Amino acid sequence: MATAEELRSYLKRAAVDLTAARQRVAELESRLAGAPVAVTGLACRFPGGADDPAGYWDLLSRSGSGVREIPEDRFDLSAEELADRRVYARHGSFLDDVAGFDAAHFGMAPHEALRTDPQHRLLMELVWRGLEDAGLPPAEVAGSRTAVFVGFMDPVQYARVETERTGFGILADPQFGQGVSSSVVAGRIAYQFDLRGPAVTLDTACSSSLVGVHLAVQALRRGECDRAIVAGVYLILHSDPYIQGCVTRMLAPDGACKTFGADADGYVLGEGGGLVVLERLDDARSAGHRVRAVVRGSAIGQDGRSNGLTAPNRGAQVDVIRRALADAGTTADRIGYLEAHGSGTSLGDAIELGALHDVFGRRGSGPLPVGAVKTNLGHTQAAAGVAGLVKTVLTLEHGRYPANLVTGAPATAVPADGSVAPAVTGGPLDPEAWAGVSSFGWSGTNAHVVLSPGTGSGNPAAGEGDPAPAVDLLVSGSTPAAVTAQLTALADLLGSDGAPALVDVAHTLAVGRARLDHRIAVPVAAGADPVAALRSAAQRTPVRTGDPAAAHPFEAGDTTVRALPDGVDGSLVPLPPHPFHRLRFWPEREGAGTPSAGTAEGGRSAAPGNRSFRPTWRVDRTATPGEVPGPVLLVPDALGIATALAAELIALGHPVLTVTDGLTAAEAVREAVALAAGPVQLVQLSSVGAVAPGARWDPAAALPFAFDDTLAAVQALGAAGGPARLLTVTCGAQLVTGGDARAPLTAAAHGLGRSVRHEYAGMSWSGIDLDPRADVADCAAALLAELTLPPRPEVVARRAGRRHRPEWAELLEPETLPWPTDGVHLITGGTRGLGALLARRLVADGVRRIALLSRGTTDSAELVDDLTAAGATVRVLVADAADPRQLRAAVAACTAELGAPEVLVHAAGVPAGGMAQASDAVRSRAVLLPKLAPLEVVSELIDSSPALRTVVLYSSAVTAFGGLGEGDYCAANTALDAAAAAWADEARPGLRVLSVGWAPWQHDDWQQRAGGPLAEQATAYRRRFGFGAADGCDLLLQLHGTDGPVLALRQSLQEAEQSFTALLDLDALTAAARAAAAARPRFPRPDLRVAYAPPTGGPESLQSIVADVWGEFLGIDAVGIRDPFFDLGGNSLVGAAMVRELELRLDRPIPPAALYQHPTVAEFAAALGGPGGGAAEPAAALLAGSAARGARRRRARVARNEEAL
């Protein structure tokens, strides 16, 4: 136990220590109280091409303007409707694209991106760009005490757009509330970048972002954070700001913000965003960060009780400026430039000029030039303060101030003594001059910031005369296209006048940029040309730098790749930013009903125009497992997942049947139907684990399991009848997270399922792609969970235990790169159809070497003559695209005669083979192989041919919507898309792999050849929304630079879904066929090999009803009960409509297979329970012979029609 003396000694020591600590705290507070704060990073996006600080300065220095008329597509109100609401202002400062956002770059799910206010999304992009400019990779700031202060003043607009377009049901979406919440704005940035300092959203109206600068400076000085990001954003998303601005007469009628002009009559609404990164000056210098400017002081204040709530207060403005000068430890004489609030209203301008005269009128350093960026950009509201601040930083950096964009006489309020002079013309700045920035909110909150010029970086700059050492330029991007774009941009930068030193560029790339998924290191030997090295890497040709190493990928944390040699230091310098690949996220308007094919919402016809969409994935957090309904039938896999799933189902008490060598699919389905207490759940797993890694691109390895087994299962379900669910299962067929598409061709199973669901009234379909990295137990658990969910016609994916759902995101501004017209082009299917159309366009655009692959030379002479006359060297290569050996020989011939292909377009294809129930594996190969067999050769070229730069695969929109009678065609194109996604993910820099899922072209006519009601509907759709030759080729060239699958339409996605639904609906098809039959005369029965035998049993017998329907739909006056269906000119599409019509008339379900199993009236009626028609040929033989004869008749009929035309 301590003695009294020991306690007294301890208390004395504690008192001394406490006194010393207080003294140290006081010293630190004194030192930090007026500590200067460095501006180390800038970012902005304003109208008029001001997408970054360099573009902003270009706009300002040439007195440019971002103001234009309100874009036609910005508001839902028309010009007449705006006039009805007393909107007289028709101009504003608008960005070109507010709907686009690179959600994938930020790891945001498409649905979340759609629900997130575009102002939030703009802010995320600005933060990324600002950190890049500051030389701060996101990984470096993650977990740091970095603060976020955001000026944000209007969370209502996007909420209004969403509810007006999609209805108030959106309120039930949990993403809606946080997506439009102002409180989440700063927090979203802190979450996204893992920032641990204060995160505050500020709304003081127009002064919000400059108030944020003041609070950030105070937080840095108090030690509350080590770095601060300050931003302001504002977008005009709804017509409300115009309505309010005009009602209050705040907006200039002529669309000009005439700040400090005699005719000032209001401001112009503007949009955009700006951002600064702030650090304590000492910290920035110690870290070697570039100091673009220094914040010396700041202050905020309030108008208090003025002439009105929103009226400015001259005395309050004088006070805030003087307090900011005092905080900076300087006087009015030190200020050489001032960026005013400058709203452009006569009252506001007069009060501000008076306040400036009160502060600066007696200084002895000459007239004070006063700028006003609102003359260039309009009033950007919450972003106005930071817009002025970024302008002022750029002004100090360039040593001159730009002129205000104002013509006409000055306002009478301009001080006559010349002490305060609006910048009518630009001029130089004293290098030692400081600057001030004002921003005044209509809330009454005012802010002023004092700046001094920057000091550069803390590292010595490389000497201009010093020879450049060997360096590695480390470039990374979120996509291969982003890498290529940055390589090109860096080459342009280093090849320009005033380019930064190569060592500084290498240093900045190495330490100041994020290490993203796609990376390349470009070695540049000592004294070599970096521009040539970068351009060579961008084109993916060997890099010749004097160093034996060529451009190569590097890994994050790769210690074998160094940017600079030992002993060589560099400085941070500004570099081109990482390009964003923006997709369109904007709510589509809900229609009043379901429009017919080819119409927009509410039944109004939509004007066709090129639209493109790319597939994305989002994590599904809403799925709630339930119970497995009905018996489960398993088509097993090679990995044992079906066995594990069966064990789990049996343990839960569910009946399970497995297709084995002793139990065919048909037999298993019949047993499952007999057990059915609900729909049969058929789980098709046979493609899982079926494809060895070495056979990844071999259709012979994938199709027997992915297509043939699925077709057999479908046909078994169709023959059994009754309700059923088909779940197609693959493993690693889809690209979801990167590097996970290991068996792309097995995606054919999902393509078949997507189409056949339209052919069977009682069948639903869904698909799932299992995680190739998961074990058997996890895969079985995922399937069990999927079986408990209601089926949706889509393919979901499981990755890392999460369920991902697919979505389409519009490509608002595709990454367009110039088409490589100088290279050799090889087009499969190039002498006819879409291939020939593209060949003509490419030659017209300058392609001079082109090889056209065709199964024969017939009818190609005219095309070759035309292309040759246009200046091209043309070779027609005879090869069957379905035969890889012939295709390899054709590629070799092309290389020998013209050169190695740089562009390969795979446009070969065969129309769909008809309804699944009437098909078989052998017939389907005629459709599948021309699409899929060439992929093996394409893969070889990708791996071995350094010349290959672009691969384009012609796919179809059926992969998104399905099709009637197009199961094999949809399967082929779905696998094609999966292949493109995998190649794009794995492609080396400089190689583009794109598949285009085309909606119908006006040139297409296979539906017309199919005959029947589908032809009439499809023709009407094609005429309105089909791609013309110019439209389609324009879109393809625009998409060059985009990777992976893309859906190409001439409608919005919602309208296209409605159109295809109308085209594919069996009931609608049946109704159309019924109406067409009633409107046309019936023709005499054709001469057949069987004698006519009339129906028996009277007019109400099944034979009579069936014969009547057949005659009605086939247009034949009298159908005999032994007449084979296909001999009468029938086809699978008409057959599907006939079966559905009989279901409706008889009020009973009929298995879709019935027509093909019983292809005469007598057999069909007997199968339905009516009297038979006597002996008949075996159904299979009769069906095959009848189909062949019907096909010959149709070919002859088409030939006669063409001859007559």
For residue 626, the tally of other CB atoms under 10 A from its CB is: 11
Superfamily grouping for domain 39-456: Thiolase/Chalcone synthase (3.40.47.10)
The pTM (predicted TM-score) of the whole model is: 0.61
pLDDT at 841: 94
More confident residue, 142 or 570: 142
Residue 835 CA to residue 411 CA, distance in Å, equals: 66
If 0-12 CB within 10 Å is exposed, 13-18 middle and 19+ buried, where does residue 1068 land? middle
Comparing 61-75, 213-227, 545-559, 850-864, the range with the smallest average pLDDT is 545-559
Taking 90 as the threshold, does the pLDDT of residue 685 lie above it? yes
Torsional class of 198: left (φ above 0), alpha (ψ -120 to 50), beta (otherwise) = beta
CATH topology of domain 620-810: Rossmann fold (3.40.50)
In contact, 648 and 780? CB cutoff 8 Å: yes
For the chain, give every residue range classified as CATH 3.40.50.720.
824-1064
Predicted confidence (pLDDT) per residue in 612-660, tens digit: 999 988 888 777 777 877 789 899 999 999 999 999 999 998 888 888 7
Taking 70 as the threshold, does the pLDDT of residue 1193 lie above it? no
Comparing 274-278, 389-393, 913-917, the range with the smallest average pLDDT is 913-917
pLDDT, averaged across the chain: 85
Nearest to 680 by CA among 694, 668, 693: 668
Which amino acid, residue 120?
Answer: H
Predicted confidence (pLDDT) per residue in 853-884, tens digit: 998 766 788 999 999 999 999 999 999 999 99
Choosing from 206, 731, 779, 970, which is the catalytic residue? 206
pLDDT at 514: 92
Percent over 70 (pLDDT), the chain: 86
For the chain, give every residue range classified as CATH 3.30.70.3290.
462-571
Query: What is the mean pLDDT of the segment spanning 137-148?
Result: 95
Comparing 171-175, 239-243, 378-382, 436-440, the range with the smallest average pLDDT is 171-175
Taking 80 as the threshold, does the pLDDT of residue 54 lie above it? yes
Which amino acid, residue 1128?
Answer: L
Predicted confidence (pLDDT) per residue in 740-794, tens digit: 999 999 999 999 999 988 887 778 999 999 999 999 999 999 999 999 998 999 9
Comparing 260-269, 289-298, 686-695, 1121-1130, the range with the smallest average pLDDT is 1121-1130
Taking 90 as the threshold, does the pLDDT of residue 1181 lie above it? no
Nearest to 704 by CA among 921, 920, 968: 921
Query: What is the mean pLDDT of the segment spanning 318-335?
Result: 96
pLDDT at 466: 61
Taking 60 as the threshold, does the pLDDT of residue 1191 lie above it? no
More confident residue, 726 or 1143: 726
Predicted confidence (pLDDT) per residue in 570-592, tens digit: 889 999 999 998 888 888 765 42
Taking 70 as the threshold, does the pLDDT of residue 1173 lie above it? no
Taking 70 as the threshold, does the pLDDT of residue 1190 lie above it? no
Residue 404 CA to residue 383 CA, distance in Å, equals: 19
Predicted confidence (pLDDT) per residue in 442-471, tens digit: 889 999 999 999 987 555 444 455 667 888
pLDDT at 716: 83
Query: What is the mean pLDDT of the segment spanning 249-265?
Result: 92
Residue 153 CA to residue 447 CA, distance in Å, equals: 16
Predicted confidence (pLDDT) per residue in 381-417, tens digit: 999 999 999 999 999 999 999 999 988 899 998 998 9
In contact, 472 and 563? CB cutoff 8 Å: yes
Query: What is the mean pLDDT of the segment spanning 74-80?
Result: 75
Predicted confidence (pLDDT) per residue in 290-299, tens digit: 999 999 999 9
Q: At 1031, give phi and psi (nearest 5°).
A: -60, -50
Indicate if 289 belongs to the active site.
no
If 0-12 CB within 10 Å is exposed, 13-18 middle and 19+ buried, where does residue 1008 land? middle
pLDDT band at 609 (very low <50, low <70, confident <90, very high): confident
In contact, 113 and 581? CB cutoff 8 Å: no
Q: Which CATH number does 462-571 carry?
A: 3.30.70.3290
Indicate if 206 belongs to the active site.
yes
Indicate if 379 belongs to the active site.
yes
In contact, 745 and 691? CB cutoff 8 Å: yes
Report the Cα 747 to chain-centroid distance in Å: 22
pLDDT at 1124: 84
Q: At 135, give phi and psi (nearest 5°).
A: 70, 35
Query: What is the mean pLDDT of the segment spanning 1056-1063?
Result: 79
Query: What is the mean pLDDT of the segment spanning 330-359?
Result: 94
Both tokens assigned to 462: 């490389």
pLDDT band at 344 (very low <50, low <70, confident <90, very high): very high
More confident residue, 86 or 623: 86
Query: What is the mean pLDDT of the segment spanning 105-127?
Result: 90
Predicted confidence (pLDDT) per residue in 1085-1097, tens digit: 877 778 899 998 8
Query: What is the mean pLDDT of the segment spanning 207-226?
Result: 97
Taking 50 as the threshold, does the pLDDT of residue 1184 lie above it? no
Which amino acid, residue 425?
Answer: T
Query: What is the mean pLDDT of the segment spanning 162-167?
Result: 83
Segment 843-847 long-range contacts (CB within 8 Å, at least 24 positions apart): 843/867, 843/870, 843/871, 843/872, 844/870, 845/819, 845/821, 845/1037, 846/821, 847/821, 847/872
Superfamily grouping for domain 1077-1204: ACP-like (1.10.1200.10)
Which amino acid, residue 541?
Answer: T
Query: What is the mean pLDDT of the segment spanning 804-822?
Result: 83
pLDDT at 664: 66
Choosing from 379, 518, 654, 750, which is the catalytic residue? 379
Taking 70 as the threshold, does the pLDDT of residue 550 lie above it? no
pLDDT at 26: 54
Report the Cα 1200 to chain-centroid distance in Å: 48
More confident residue, 68 or 584: 68
For the chain, give every residue range classified as CATH 3.40.50.11460.
620-810
Residue 196 CA to residue 296 CA, distance in Å, equals: 25
pLDDT at 856: 72
In contact, 467 and 526? CB cutoff 8 Å: yes
pLDDT band at 561 (very low <50, low <70, confident <90, very high): very low
Residue 687 CA to residue 709 CA, distance in Å, equals: 8
pLDDT at 559: 33
For residue 1110, the tally of other CB atoms under 10 A from its CB is: 26
CATH topology of domain 824-1064: Rossmann fold (3.40.50)
Taking 60 as the threshold, does the pLDDT of residue 266 lie above it? yes
pLDDT at 1010: 42
Percent over 90 (pLDDT), the chain: 52
Choosing from 238, 289, 341, 750, which is the catalytic residue? 341
pLDDT at 750: 97
More confident residue, 885 or 815: 885
Nearest to 1059 by CA among 1023, 1087, 1098, 1018: 1018
- Dihedral sign (CA 1084, 1087, 1093, 1095): negative
Taking 70 as the threshold, does the pLDDT of residue 30 lie above it? no
In contact, 20 and 27? CB cutoff 8 Å: no
Cβ neighbours for 941, distance < 8 A, ≥ 6 positions apart: 891, 901, 904, 948, 951
